[in-house]
Amino acid sequence: MKRIIFLFLLFSLISFAHKINIFTYKEGEKIYVESYFPDGKPVKKGKIEVYNENGEKIIEGQTDENGVFSFNIPENKKIKIILTGDAGHKTETFMELVKEIKKEGSNFKKETFKSVELDKEEIKKILEEVLEKKMNEFLKEYRKEREKEKFKDIVGGIGYILGIFGIYLYFRKK
């Protein structure tokens, strides 16, 4: 019985240690993939593979020292991103892509800043881009902090279980 409980706890710690968090977002004409372990450390030199909706590999690359990889938005509606780290760490995510329809002939004139005319659609697009960038930064930090808390809670919970089990064994021997 003791061996079974010990093996169960050991395998749950090992499986959690192989978790990778992945965060994807679109900024401008690029897609960014950021990856990190539950303790917040980046996945360095992780292999990135991007597949289209037909399962064909369209992009391949590697994360940098900060766990980040970026690529231009492909001409697909849906992509699957797979990240493989060292020692068997692996995760995947899906991303829906919606191409924006570019309006022909902008009212914005670079050479004349005195009479800048922006219609409602251009203002809306500028605001959406700024908000999207700020929200992506916020969500990235929020998810990192949330994952750190989960890791602490799990390790703390396992510590409590081992402590209670130790107290049980102590009194059982007496």
Chain segment 63-81, per-residue pLDDT in tens: 999 889 999 988 888 999 9
pLDDT at 7 (0 to 100): 62
pLDDT at 91 (0 to 100): 87
What is the distance between the alpha carbons of residues 140 and 135, in angstroms, rounded to a whole number?
Answer: 8
3-state DSSP assignment of residue 89 = coil
For the domain that residue 143 is a member of, what is the CATH number? 2.60.40.1930
Q: Looking at residues 130-152, what average pLDDT do you find?
A: 75
CB contact at 8 A, 48 and 81:
yes
Please enumerate, as own/partner, the contacts of 145-153 that have beta carbons within 8 Å and a separation of 24 or more: 147/21, 147/36, 147/38, 147/40, 148/38, 148/39, 148/40, 150/38, 151/16, 151/38, 151/39
- The residue ranking higher by pLDDT, 146 or 50, is 50
Which range has the worst mean pLDDT, 11-15, 25-29, 116-120, 127-131?
Answer: 11-15
- The residue ranking higher by pLDDT, 6 or 128, is 128
* Residue bearing tokens 């369209």: 58
Q: Is the pLDDT confidence value at 146 over 90?
A: no
In this predicted model, what pLDDT tens digit does every residue of 82-104 receive, in sequence order? 998 877 778 888 888 865 544 44
Q: How many domains does the chain have?
A: 1
- The range of the structural domain enclosing residue 140 comes to 2-173
Residue in 31, 87, 77, 70 with CA at minimum distance from that of residue 54: 77
**What's the whole-number average pLDDT of the chain?**
78
CB contact at 8 A, 35 and 58:
no
pLDDT at 1 (0 to 100): 64
Q: Where are the beta strands (DSSP E) in the chain?
A: 21-27, 30-36, 47-51, 57-62, 68-72, 78-84, 90-96
pTM for this one? 0.53
